[in-house]
A and B are shown apart, each in its own frame.
Chain A
Amino acid sequence: QQQVKQSPQSLIVQKGGISIINCAYENTAFDYFPWYQQFPGKGPALLIAIRPDVSEKKEGRFTISFNKSAKQFSLHIMDSQPGDSATYFCAVTRGGYQKVTFGTGTKLQVIP
């Protein structure tokens, strides 16, 4: 059973545009929702994370929107840049535990 579903699988956005990646989860016990960015040949790096007690968190050009009742959360990248081209993973975990369950990933390409 896939615990977190991520879409789209791939995304092409023009420079300056908004990139949006969506995730849905099943288990309401999850209480920490991070997003990771991974460049080819590198390990994932934490980008931004949210707890379910807030509906939105913004850090620079990156925003997480969280809908607890729908069990969905999304990543918005504003003013997308070619340097943002990478694979993005949503993830879920609980209890402050680093046993992270990752989504299947979204390969983002930002074209000039």
Chain B
Amino acid sequence: GAGVSQTPSNKVTEKGKYVELRCDPISGHTALYWYRQSLGQGPEFLIYFQGTGAADDSGLPNDRFFAVRPEGSVSTLKIQRTERGDSAVYLCASSLVHGGNTEAFFGQGTRLTVV
């Protein structure tokens, strides 16, 4: 596709359930980022991948959150035992290379609602 694709666009889940959010980056982009945006706030960094490895996961709020990128392309953000406070828009971004202030392109996000 032409841009970063995130699925699903909306996800409603019950408290305590497990969810997976998928990100398809722009083809050829080696760097991939996950951010979380709460209502009325700016996006907050969660994790960054360079290729298949998580280069920086310092933004993950706790061990209920985990992300993978097994083949260096598609990434999945996994949230266990969801809580109402996890409700937010989860944004994925990708960039061609890491560093050099290369532009990161964002997807339109997955809106997660935990009820």
Contact = CB atoms under 8 A, between A and B. Distances in A.
20 contacts: A6-B42, A32-B101, A43-B93, A43-B108, A45-B105, A46-B103, A49-B101, A51-B101, A89-B43, A93-B101, A95-B99, A96-B100, A98-B98, A98-B104, A99-B45, A99-B59, A102-B42, A104-B40, A104-B42, A105-B42
B96 to A, nearest CB: 11
Contact of A98 (B91, B95, B108): B95
A41 B103 contact: no
Interface of B: 4, 31, 33, 40-45, 48, 56, 59, 91, 93, 95, 98-109
Q: Give 3 closest A-B pairs by Cβ, nearest first.
A: A43-B106, A102-B42, A96-B99
A102 B106 contact: no
A101 interface: yes
Interface of A: 6, 32, 41-46, 49, 51, 89, 91, 93, 95-105
B41 A100 contact: no
Contact of A99 (B4, B33, B103, B105): B33
Given A43-B91, A104-B42, A99 B106 contact: no
Given A96-B100, A98-B48, A98-B104, 6 more contacts: A46-B104, A96-B101, A98-B33, A98-B102, A104-B40, A105-B40
A104 B39 CA distance: 10
Given A49-B101, A97-B98, A98-B33, A43 B45 contact: no
B42 A98 contact: no
Nearest to A6: B42
Contacts of B59: 99
Nearest to A107: B40
